[in-house]
Amino acid sequence: MEGSWRDVLAVLVILAQLTVSGSSYQIIEGPRNVTALKGSEARFNCTVTHGWKLIMWALNGIVELSLTSQKPIITSNRFTSASYNSTDSFISEMIIHNVQLNDSGPVQCSLQNSNVFGFAFLSVQVMGTLNIPSSNLIVTEGEPCNVTCYAVGWTPLPNISWELEVPVSHSSYYSFLEPGNSLRVLSVLDLTPLGNGTLTCVAEMKDLQASESLTVNLTVVQPPPGK
Q: What is the pLDDT of residues 147-162, one digit of tens each?
A: 999 999 999 999 999 9
pLDDT band at 226 (very low <50, low <70, confident <90, very high): low
88 alpha carbon, distance to own chain's centre? 33
Average pLDDT of span 90-105: 97
Q: Pick the closest to residue 48 from 72, 63, 30, 66 (CA basis).
A: 30
Contact 190, 144 (CB under 8 A): yes
181-193 and 168-178 beta bridge pairing: antiparallel
- Across residues 82-87, what is the average pLDDT? 91
* Judgement on whether residues 39 and 100 belong to the same structural domain of the protein: yes
Assess if residue 174 is contained within a domain: yes
The count of domains in the chain is 2
Work out the mean pLDDT of the chain and round it to a whole number. Answer: 88
**pLDDT at residue 84 greater than cutoff 80:** yes
Average pLDDT over residues 106-122: 90
Single-letter amino acid, residue 14 = I
pLDDT exceeds cutoff 50 at 5:
no
Q: What is the pLDDT of residue 47?
A: 96
pLDDT digits (tens, 9 = 90+) for 179-190: 888 789 999 999
93 has pLDDT over 80: yes
Mean local confidence (pLDDT), 105-115: 89
| Confidence at residue 116, expressed as pLDDT on a 0 to 100 scale | 79
Per-residue pLDDT at 4: 46
Which pLDDT score, from 0 to 100, does residue 75 have?
A: 83
For the question of whether the overall pTM of this predicted structure is more than 0.85, the answer is: no
Q: Are residues 189 and 87 in the same domain?
A: no
Does residue 158 sit in the same domain as residue 48? no
At 123, which amino acid appears? S
**Which residue among 125, 159, 184 closes a domain?**
125
Does residue 202 fall inside a structural domain? Answer: yes
Is the same domain home to 161 and 206?
A: yes
Residue pLDDT, tens place only, 6-58 = 444 444 444 444 443 445 678 999 999 999 999 999 999 999 999 888 999 99
* CA dihedral sign of residues 199, 195, 148, 144: positive
Owning domain of residue 24: 2-125
Instruction: Work out the percent of the chain whose per-residue pLDDT is above 90.
Output: 70
